[in-house]
Structure 1
Amino acid sequence: MLLRRLSNQFWLAGVLAALLVLAGCGATTPARGPSADDGRSAVRGIDGTGIPPKALTQFERAAAVMAAGDLGKAEKRFTDFVLLYPDYPGAWVNLAIIHAGNGHDDKAREAIDSALAVNPDHAPALNQMGMLHRRNGNFLEAEAAYLKAVTVSPGYALAHYNLGVLNELYLQRLDAALQHFEIYQSLVGEDKQVERWIKDLKRRGAVSQQTANVAD
């Protein structure tokens, strides 16, 4: 069960790249894919102006390369992007995902810090900060980052998912895990795997309650 959850967690981090094509430079990510418009209205800089069309094209191409799995080329393209347009946190977040995937946690942290310097309430950056802390065994710091992500962006499903994983597998808080998995499920719609986890958590909770009642 642990391996399944962790594998799915890394898969979700990869999916984030595709979501960032549409909302990569804004403060939030759609809970279930693109919104009704083409996503360009969500692409914003720190001053609220739209990203230049040339930059948007450059960003989308880099994200497409990343989604295709060519992380070396994607890293170069996003690095080039942030040199020209450093005020778009989504690009820094994608760089953080690439660095973390390559095992370069120091570089990942630098990229996350750069994103948060632009926008301290950028939910995808906070989520990546949480994942980085979790991988390094800093579970309470991970929880704080995830919780801030869902505080500033309650509909940011990935952070709720990660809170579910963290609470169940690392903090042993089954009630909190159930709560966040149920929120995740309500945001993304039907997810068969998470639905099974929810049923399992409810079963374990019921068994625990019965045991407590017998002990009393």
Structure 2
Amino acid sequence: MLKTLNNKRLLQSLLVLSFGVMMSACSSLPSLPTFGSDEQSATEAEQKTEEVLNDGTEPAAQVMSEEELAEQALMLEAQGLMASINAYQVENQSQKKLNASQLQNVQNAMNALAAGNTDGALSEVQRVLDDPDFFAAPHTSVWVLRGDIHQRATNIEQAIKDYEVAIALSPNNYQALNRLGKLHRDMGNFEQAKEYYNQALKAWPGNASTYRNRGILNDLYIGDKASALSDYRLYKALLDIQVQSTDTPAKALLKEQRLAGQWITDIKRQLKAIAREQANG
């Protein structure tokens, strides 16, 4: 699988997929004679052109393999997804911003959660929720944060309730939708989990993590290897774009990119094995 695409090859793929025709520059024609009439020169030029086209001695246009074309198409699809609208971000712009005091409480809660102090984190978040200003114009991110705290404290039922409040206030909150997908997956509610992931992708089609999450669900829980491969390939393609867009990609990003490649290789191997078994009856 191609890991990087240079600009020349990407331009070629755009022409291929947009017009359905492989475009390649032909070799220049042999030099025309400098003697004789213009009519004669034109006739000779036509003859030589016909010879070049018919004798098969000139280099043929380079034809990409089906796998290469598929990779180019995948990259174009990923680029389109990256440029898609993040509906939650649009919704978020219309929400009232947290004031300075609320922001400090949220930061304190995040610090406490990072330190494993779930009681302290809940206390800080509750101060925000009890604020009359917040009650009048709630911000869904706070509910997601409280859900995360409850999840860390293994209070899964309450975590689900908090995430559900978040999407009730903001249906396109893909963060809450992803979390609900994971929790329902862990509870064995696979179809419900998949529906949450699908909703998250409708909210933001360019969110790489959702493809990862849905791919894992399809791969390890539902057993739909073909769908898992599709999700993993999109996940990696989106990561590839992120890696290529920076001179110094984060180590965690590079690690995920490598893992995604390994998952794709493994899924392909499994699909081939399944095909052999089916062929052998």
Cα deviations by residue, 1:86-130 (Å, 9 ceiling, x for unpaired): 511112112112212322122112111211121011101111111
Compared CA separation, residues 178 and 83, structure 1 to 2 (3 A) = farther
Structure 1 window deviating more from structure 2 (181-190 vs 157-166): it is 181-190
Give the Cα–Cα distance (whole angstroms) in 2 for the partners of residues 75 and 198 of structure 1. 40
- Whether 1:196 and 2:257 are equivalent positions in the alignment is no
Query: 1:138 maps to what in 2?
Result: 189
The two structures have a TM-score, normalised by structure 1, of 0.71
Letter in 2 for 1:90: S
Query: 2:220 maps to what in 1?
Result: 169
Give the Cα–Cα distance (whole angstroms) in 1 for the partners of residues 92 and 234 of structure 2. 27
Cα deviations by residue, 1:165-196 (Å, 9 ceiling, x for unpaired): 11011110011111212222233443222321
Matched ranges for 1:1-216 at <5 A = 27=88, 44=92, 47-84=94-131, 85-86=134-135, 87-189=138-240, 190=254, 191=256, 192-215=258-281
RMSD in angstroms over aligned alpha carbons?
2.4
Compared CA separation, residues 70 and 176, structure 1 to 2 (3 A) = same
Give the Cα–Cα distance (whole angstroms) in 1 for the partners of residues 195 and 91 of structure 2. 26
Give 1 or 2 for the bigger CA radius of gyration: 2
Query: 2:56 maps to what in 1?
Result: none
Query: 2:65 maps to what in 1?
Result: none
Q: Which has the higher contact order (CA 8 A, sep 6+)?
A: 1
Structure 1 window deviating more from structure 2 (145-154 vs 177-186): it is 177-186
Query: 2:36 maps to what in 1?
Result: none
Contact (CA 8 Å) 1:82, 1:88: kept in 2 or not?
no
The two structures have a TM-score, normalised by structure 2, of 0.56
Give the Cα–Cα distance (whole angstroms) in 1 for the partners of residues 111 and 155 of structure 2. 22
Contact (CA 8 Å) 2:96, 2:139: kept in 1 or not?
no
The Cα shift of 1:27 comes to 2.4
Which ranges of structure 2 fall in alignment gaps of 5 or more residues?
1-86, 241-253
Structure 1 window deviating more from structure 2 (132-141 vs 62-71): it is 62-71
Equivalent residue pairs, number: 176
SS, match of residue 27 in structure 1: helix
Instruction: Give identity over the alignment, percent.
Output: 26
Contact (CA 8 Å) 1:43, 1:51: kept in 2 or not?
no
Contact (CA 8 Å) 2:218, 2:225: kept in 1 or not?
yes
The Cα shift of 1:214 comes to 4.2
Give the Cα–Cα distance (whole angstroms) in 1 for the partners of residues 205 and 167 of structure 2. 18
Give the Cα–Cα distance (whole angstroms) in 2 for the partners of residues 43 and 69 of structure 1. 31
Which ranges of structure 1 fall in alignment gaps of 5 or more residues?
1-25, 29-41
The Cα shift of 1:75 comes to 2.1
Cα deviations by residue, 1:115-149 (Å, 9 ceiling, x for unpaired): 11210111011111111211211110000001100
Letter in 2 for 1:112: Y
Give the Cα–Cα distance (whole angstroms) in 1 for the partners of residues 231 and 239 of structure 2. 12
Compared CA separation, residues 91 and 134, structure 1 to 2 (3 A) = same
The Cα shift of 1:68 comes to 3.5
